[in-house]
Amino acid sequence: MTITQLEYIVAVDTYRSFVIAAEKCFVTQPTLSMQVQKLEDTLGVKLFDRSKQPVTPTEIGIEIITQARIMLSESEKIKEIITDRQKELSGELRVGIIPTVSPYILPKIIKGFIEKYPQVKLIVWEQTTEDIIQQLKLGKIDCGILSTPLHESSLTEIPVFYENFVAYVSKNSKLSKKKSINPEDIDMEEIWVLNEGHCMREQVLNICQRRKSTKGFLHFEYNTGSVETLKRMVDQNNGATILPELALSELTEKQLDKVRYFKSPEPAREVSIVIQRNFLKRRMIEALKNEILEFVPKRMRSKKKKEVMDI
> Is 292 in a helix, a strand, or coil?
helix
Q: Answer yes or no: CATH 3.40.50.800 is held by domain 3-83.
A: no
Confidence of residue 261 (pLDDT cuts 50, 70, 90): very high
Condensed to tens digits (0 to 9), the pLDDT of residues 121-162 reads 999 999 999 999 999 988 889 999 999 999 898 899 999 999
Confidence of residue 222 (pLDDT cuts 50, 70, 90): low
Q: Residue 32: what pLDDT?
A: 96
Q: What are the residue boundaries of the structural domains of the chain, listed by start? A: 3-83, 89-161+269-308, 163-267
pLDDT exceeds cutoff 70 at 280: yes
Mean pLDDT of 36-42: 96
Residue pair 100/225 in contact (Cβ under 8 Å)? The answer is no
Quote the pTM value: 0.76
Other beta carbons less than 10 A from residue 109's beta carbon: 18
Q: Residue 67: what pLDDT?
A: 92
Q: Residue 210: what pLDDT?
A: 56
Q: Residue 287: what pLDDT?
A: 94
CATH no. for 163-267: 3.40.190.10
On the question of a common fold for 3-83 and 89-161+269-308, the answer reads no
Confidence of residue 84 (pLDDT cuts 50, 70, 90): low
Of 222 and 200, more confident: 200
Number of C-alpha atoms within 13 angstroms, CB side, residue 311?
20
Mean pLDDT of 80-96: 80
Q: Residue 198: what pLDDT?
A: 74
Lowest mean pLDDT among 25-34, 203-212, 237-246: 203-212
As a whole number of angstroms, the distance between CA 246 and CA 165 comes to: 9
Q: Residue 219: what pLDDT?
A: 44
Condensed to tens digits (0 to 9), the pLDDT of residues 167-218 reads 999 988 888 899 999 988 888 788 888 776 678 888 888 887 755 554 544 4
Residue pair 158/273 in contact (Cβ under 8 Å)? The answer is yes
Average pLDDT value over all residues in the chain: 88
Alpha helices in the chain (DSSP H): 3-15, 18-25, 29-43, 59-85, 102-116, 129-138, 199-208, 227-237, 253-256, 282-295
Domain 89-161+269-308 is classified in which CATH homologous superfamily? Answer: Periplasmic binding protein-like II (3.40.190.10)
